[in-house]
Amino acid sequence: MSAPERQISTSVLVIGTGGSGLRAAIELAEAGVAVTAVGKRPKSDAHTSLAAGGINAALGTMDADDSWQQHAADTIKESYFLANPHTVEIVTSGAAQGIDDLERYGMPFAREDDGRISQRFFGAHKYRRTAFAGDYTGLEIQRTLINRAAQLDIPILDTVYITRLLVNDNVVFGAYGFDLDDGTRYLIHADAVILAAGGHNRIWRRTSSRRDENTGDSFRLAVEAGARLRDPELVQFHPSGIIEPENAAGTLISEAARGEGGILRNGLGERFMQNYDPERLELSTRDRVALACYTEIKEGRGTPNGGVWLDVSHLPRETIMTRLPRVYQTMLELQMLDITKQPIEIAPTAHYSMGGVWVRSDDHSTEVDGLYAIGEASSGLHGANRLGGNSLIELLVFGRIVGQAAAAYSAALPAQVRSAAAVAEARAEIDALLAASGDENVRALQRAIRDTMTEFAGVVRDEDGLTRGLAELDAIEARMADIGVHPDVAGYHDLAHAFDLKSAALAARATLEAALERRETRGAHNRSDYPEIDPELQVNLVWSPTTGVVREAIPPIPAEIAALIEEVSVAGKLVE
């Protein structure tokens, strides 16, 4: 054998150590089920830790009239009716328990003087239902879950990169991968596998994801195992990502900057939101502000670096220092920019994968027996526009449910049938890449995919651009056959990047093909050649390499929830 190989056996393997993966692992460990979690980046630095705004649950601590049914109605409306009503019902009705679980683990929520959990407005919610911990909510949730996992002695492998799920006759029996530091191979046998490895928004040039995360790994692992993707074209673009420096492009400037009174101006110095939403101006919805910024840039009214200006310098210095401390600190560190005196150059940035792996709504199982997907890797909750604060509660609700489902599946499995051929194929895939000595640079090809997606599948799309994007992707995939992989003294990260590249190419193809099929404008999906909503396309688009794109009907909305769907007043508050 070309490299040392460690074999591990566990009842359930969790791939990804962000919020959803850890919550599922905790559920399993608390039930006494053997579980192992693996991640390609340190658990303390998972993407969940970047989530700032808050976590939604109809607790009624501030507004007694709130209910999970109203939360469900708001979520379905904001999804432009593409969310699965059953998924929405499970998340919203289970949200209070999700918050209770966090409290049980020691989460330090912001509280009112009488001890109630504080809740604030988040865009398009009828009531105050967003619980929070400063503007570090995701970081506190991640810390809380890590602490609980440590109490339970859950084995977590921080530097293991999973390259392939092991499947025999459409039944998963584990996964294969390698250690990023020393190249040791890992053969992990498991009765069930939970995929919690994030989305695909790193395949755009400007993104709120950092290097080497959200590269579409969940999508590739699932599809190669025999699963399908749902709504990969539905990607949320955040209006305000910074442009420079290049290695930090896409880093978010919190929407709190607009909420506190920040003004958007184009390269000519004009305040342009009055042309797009004269009533709400900068407090408009995330998709509308992103579209406005994109349009100003595209029509030649952008800044020198192809952005727009976000200006808070007219606000009192005290307001900036107390209400926007992270924004102030970030811009000082990254650009030596003093936001109390100068505007910030921003542009729309890929932020969240609203689609993902096709899962059943009740237990997030996939079409591969024993394989589950949760968090940003999954689909069904957000539709064409994610409601701010819903992604964090989704992690907790489905982390618990999927943990229980995987435990039950493992317990009922009469035998674990393995396949030597599947393991040999996984080993050979790594061997082939390590032997690759072609002229193509992996990083350059990753950049080419990001440029292609930014150019042809960004905030606004059209038939011609998407078709050209697919042609460029064909050319990039042809070049991928000639890559060179060079592990070095720093480890096997170059090998990981080669797998990231495979994932990015598959995620890009799914996104382009589904975006081509969705010939309408709905939520975050803007088609300049089809500017209206098409009632015929109130469906989910399900993709696989073998079937292409097929349409899937969405279940009816329960009457008690449908009756509560209404326009939510947004007077004086940020809509996202």
Q: Which residues contact 334 (CB under 8 A, 6 or more apart)?
A: 242, 244, 245, 248, 251
Question: pLDDT tens, 31-89?
Answer: 999 999 999 988 877 777 777 678 999 999 999 999 999 999 999 998 999 999 999 99
| Measured CA angle at 110 (ends 106, 112), to 5 deg | 120
- Give the DSSP per-residue string, 321-344: HHH-HHHHHHHHHHH---TTTS-E
Q: Percent of the chain at pLDDT above 90?
A: 81
Q: Which residues contact 284 (CB under 8 A, 6 or more apart)?
A: 273, 276, 277, 292, 575
Higher pLDDT residue, 268 or 325? Answer: 268
Whether pTM exceeds 0.75 = yes
Q: Per-residue pLDDT for 479 more than 90?
A: yes
Q: Per-residue pLDDT for 259 more than 90?
A: no
Helix (H, G, I), strand (E, B) or coil at 138: helix
Compute the distance between CA of residue 258 and CA of residue 294 in angstroms, rounded to an integer: 17
pLDDT in the model for residue 252: 87
pLDDT in the model for residue 54: 85
Mean pLDDT, rounded, for 230-246 = 93
Active-site residue list = 238, 258
Q: Per-residue pLDDT for 572 more than 70?
A: no
Q: Per-residue pLDDT for 576 more than 60?
A: no
pLDDT averaged over the chain?
A: 93
Of 51-65, 140-154, 293-307, 387-401, the range with the lowest mean pLDDT is 51-65
Find out whether 230 and 448 touch, Cβ atoms under 8 Å.
no
Confidence of residue 145 (pLDDT cuts 50, 70, 90): very high
How far is residue 456 from each of residues 165, 449, 469, measured CA to CA in Å?
31, 11, 6
Q: Which residues contact 223 (CB under 8 A, 6 or more apart)?
A: 229, 506, 510, 544, 545
Q: Report how far Cα 77 is from the mean position of its chain's Cα atoms.
A: 20
Identify the DSSP state of 281: G
Identify the DSSP state of 273: G
Confidence of residue 206 (pLDDT cuts 50, 70, 90): confident
pLDDT in the model for residue 91: 98
Find out whether 536 and 493 touch, Cβ atoms under 8 Å.
no
